[in-house]
């Protein structure tokens, strides 16, 4: 069974957590490193644990692990051999599980809640390249090459007992297709598939989100279809395009609304948690049922989602 259904049976919305990097930086981590997640997993795992906990307290039903950039090839650049790299990937899941168990062990935290799930992050091939192709998808790799690239991490994450996989920030359909083929080797595992989008109709490499949704709709192991790491402005239209092509749950966790300037490696533009909260309610009204935040979102953003989705004045 699709594990997210355990939450959606109880509540109209399942809440995803927010950005990990933003919170780690706030706690003093220097993430100015293409493989920052490896660095933090090795040197300061307790900070990742704390960020997961903060998101559970803010209302997250789904924690995404710190394995987005974790790859055998990438970690080799940090001097890690294959076994050490695979161990770090597993560790990313164990940290989230330990935070979830700590949160859930307190009876107060179980009031009006579903037990949070751990979604193991599978970032795109381009996240390992760290050259911007993550948002273009112009890898020039075949489906088989993408399967071979993704296999060790997917194996490690599934072996670690994650509740499902979060295949996220996917810029091109061929990468989703490669991941689906790989997933079929693990028939008991579900995964959500989230693309990054360049506007209200197209994913990053220019393919139509409707075609992606249509293709994924036929795959039983796909737990949800949606968008992450994109401007919140595109989200309502993208949700409608997805919904035209599937009855699967629609998932969205866009960025805060600030805009990234890759040249200057900075974010600009205005955003507020309050505005994010209001927008997130519109995503629900457009048909999304799994909602959270990506880059630059914080526990305060997730709390804003929780405020309308749960509790006294919310839907429940």
Provide the binding-site residues for Zn ion, judged by CB under 5 A.
229, 294-295
Distance in angstroms (rounded) separating the CA atoms of residues 101 and 120: 16
Structure token digits, residue 171: 């810029």
Nearest distance from C-beta of residue 137 to Zn ion, angstroms: 15
Distance in angstroms (rounded) separating the CA atoms of residues 9 and 236: 24
Name which of 96 and 127 has its Cβ closer to Zn ion. 127
Nearest distance from C-beta of residue 290 to Zn ion, angstroms: 16
Which helix (H) or strand (E) covers residue 145, if one does? helix 143-159
Name which of 210 and 297 has its Cβ closer to Zn ion. 297
Name which of 184 and 266 has its Cβ closer to Zn ion. 266
Buried/exposed 6-23: b ≥16 CB within 10 Å, e otherwise: ebbeebebbbbbbbbbbb
The answer to whether the beta carbons of residues 23 and 51 sit under 8 Å apart is yes
Nearest distance from C-beta of residue 294 to Zn ion, angstroms: 3
Name which of 11 and 68 has its Cβ closer to Zn ion. 68
Nearest distance from C-beta of residue 61 to Zn ion, angstroms: 19
Name which of 252 and 294 has its Cβ closer to Zn ion. 294
The gap from C-alpha 63 to its chain's centroid, in whole angstroms, comes to 8
Nearest distance from C-beta of residue 196 to Zn ion, angstroms: 8
Nearest distance from C-beta of residue 42 to Zn ion, angstroms: 22
Name which of 16 and 229 has its Cβ closer to Zn ion. 229
Name which of 294 and 302 has its Cβ closer to Zn ion. 294
Phi first, then psi: give them for residue 25, nearest 5 degrees: -65, -40
The answer to whether the beta carbons of residues 167 and 122 sit under 8 Å apart is yes
- Strand spans (E) along the chain: 14-15, 62-64, 117-122, 164-170, 191-195, 222-228, 250-253, 259-261, 266-268, 290-291
Nearest distance from C-beta of residue 172 to Zn ion, angstroms: 17
For 129, other C-beta atoms within 10 Å of its C-beta total: 15
């Amino acid at each position: 069974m699709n594990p997210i259904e355990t939450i959606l049976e109880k509540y109209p919305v399942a809440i995803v957590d927010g950005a990990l990097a933003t919170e780690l930086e706030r706690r003093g981590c220097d993430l100015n490193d293409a493989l920052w997640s490896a660095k933090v997993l090795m040197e300061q795992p307790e900070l990742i644990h704390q960020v997961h906990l903060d998101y559970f307290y803010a209302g997250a039903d789904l924690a995404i692990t710190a394995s987005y950039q974790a790859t055998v090839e990438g970690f080799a650049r940090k001097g890690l051999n294959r076994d050490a790299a695979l161990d770090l990937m597993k560790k990313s899941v164990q940290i989230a599980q330990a935070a979830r168990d700590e949160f859930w062990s307190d009876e107060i935290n179980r009031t009006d809640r579903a037990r949070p799930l751990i979604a193991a992050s599978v970032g795109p091939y381009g996240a390992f390249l760290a050259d911007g192709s993550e948002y273009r998808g112009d890898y020039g790799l075949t489906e088989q090459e993408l399967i071979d690239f993704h296999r060790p991490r997917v194996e490690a994450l599934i072996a670690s007992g994650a509740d499902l996989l979060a295949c996220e920030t996917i810029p091109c359909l061929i990468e989703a297709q490669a991941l689906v083929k790989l997933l079929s080797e693990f028939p008991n595992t579900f995964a959500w598939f989230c693309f990054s989008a360049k506007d209200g109709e197209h994913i990053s490499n220019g393919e139509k989100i409707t075609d992606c949704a249509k293709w994924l709709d036929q795959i039983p192991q796909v737990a949800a279809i949606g968008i992450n790491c994109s401007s919140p402005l595109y989200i309502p239209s993208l949700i409608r395009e997805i919904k035209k092509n599937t009855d699967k749950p629609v998932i969205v966790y866009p960025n805060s609304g600030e805009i990234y300037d890759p040249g200057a490696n900075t974010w600009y533009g205005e955003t507020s948690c309050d505005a994010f909260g209001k927008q997130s309610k519109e995503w629900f009204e457009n048909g999304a049922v799994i909602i959270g935040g990506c880059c630059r979102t914080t526990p305060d953003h997730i709390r804003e989602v929780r405020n309308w989705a749960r509790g006294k004045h919310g839907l429940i």
